[in-house]
Amino acid sequence: MAKSTKEHLEDTFNDLGTEELKRFKNKLCDRKKGAGIRKAQIEKVADAIDLADLMVRTFTSTGAVPAAIEILEAVGCNEQAAELKENAGHGLPVAQPHQDVVDYGAGQGQKVELTLSDDWHKQLHVVLCSQQFKDKIIRQNGQEIYEVKEKKVRKRLALLINNIDFDEKAMTRRGADTDEKNMEWLLKELDYQVVKHKNLSAKEMEKAVKDFARREEHAQSDSTFVVIMSHGKRDAILGVHYSTSDPSDTFLVDNIYRSLNTENCPGLRDKPKVILIQACRGGESGRMWASDGEPEEPEGIEGDDFVHKEKDFISLMSCTPDTKSYRHVENGTFYVQNVVDVLMNHAHEDHIEELFRKVIRRFDSTDMMGSYRQMACKDRASLPKLFYLFPGL
């Protein structure tokens, strides 16, 4: 199995002598290009493992290697820099801070660290799972894991809806096109055929979700992803015709679950359905939204067996209720950047709930977002089993 970014960094730092490691840490604190790391954080580093972990948490797995190479060369460790470049990849872009981070209506920007650089997807791939790991997990957990169909026979579908251009020009979601490219890349890397829509009204969103639920391919699938990115308010996602003067163009969040439940989407019965929604969840002017509360008590009958009407769902919302979700006007949202980065590097070894925990953990770091505060959160989780994506298999 290919080594992770963190493992490559650990190997490099273990090769450094005591004085070389000291120079590296000092330069890391004094780094002029992009972001540095505070001295207090460096002082907590006990070994190469700690240092590699700090680098990945600060610069992310896409930016940690080029940042390390830059510092190694600056302190004269050219041999280690060349070896790291050869082993971990050439020319990976360093995540750089930008000045302009916004949500709908925000007008002031601050320095933040971006998780994904502009052209990261041209050079990276989702880390693939080994057959040995898959066999091991299945042996250990057996019936506790959702079935993953063989790649040659399955037909996985994912729905991606992205609202960028609204009738009210002030609501244009600058940077959301980058989110779309990044998310579509991730879904395709995970072997999903992406059904994509852009700039939909509420009625068009409802139709798109219902049409997706009726797709015959679901019978040959083992799972699905539904990704919706837009403005929103507490119980609804905003269509492109929404305006402050006419706020009627709204699509109820609950309709997503209703359309994909056992009754309306039998092709996905007993299969994991992952819902990713990027939008705000609170605000004074209806700019943000939340999930529609707890699901109703399960009901419904299919054949002679009782089945749960809403089951096998898990959702990751971009922020907690009544809070904002931030978007960079060029590089997209923190939420999509973190989801893509975590799944790209950990889907080969973690199930979906652990992957979501790692995304949430990213938002717990003050280093990434500066003075901005946002916390992704799980919602409406009803997975009775563990869902592993096993990328590549």
Element (H, E) at 5: helix 5-15
Determine the residue type at 122.
Answer: K
Nearest C-alpha neighbor of 234 from the set 254, 262, 264: 254
CA 82 to chain centre: 31
Determine the residue type at 111.
Answer: K
Q: Which of 77, 129, 265, 280 is catalytic?
A: 280
Q: Which residue has the tokens 């922020």?
A: 319
CB atoms inside a 10 Å sphere around CB 385: 15
DSSP 268: G
* Measured distance CA(331)–CA(59) in Å, rounded: 15
CA 32 to chain centre: 29
- Is residue 143 classed exposed, middle or buried when 0-12, 13-18 and 19+ CB atoms within 10 A define those classes? exposed
- Known active-site residue 308: no
224-229 and 273-278 strand pairing = parallel
Q: Which of 121, 231, 328, 351 is catalytic?
A: 231
* Measured distance CA(368)–CA(115) in Å, rounded: 8
The residues pairing with 245 across neighbouring beta strands, listed in sequence order, are: none
**Both tokens assigned to 275:** 């819902």
DSSP 29-94: HT--SS----HHHHHT--SHHHHHHHHHHHHHHHHHHHHHHHHHHHTT-HHHHHHHHHHH-SSPPP
The side-by-side arrangement of strands in the sheet containing 327-328 is: 101-102, 327-328, 332-333
| Catalytic annotation, residues | 231, 280
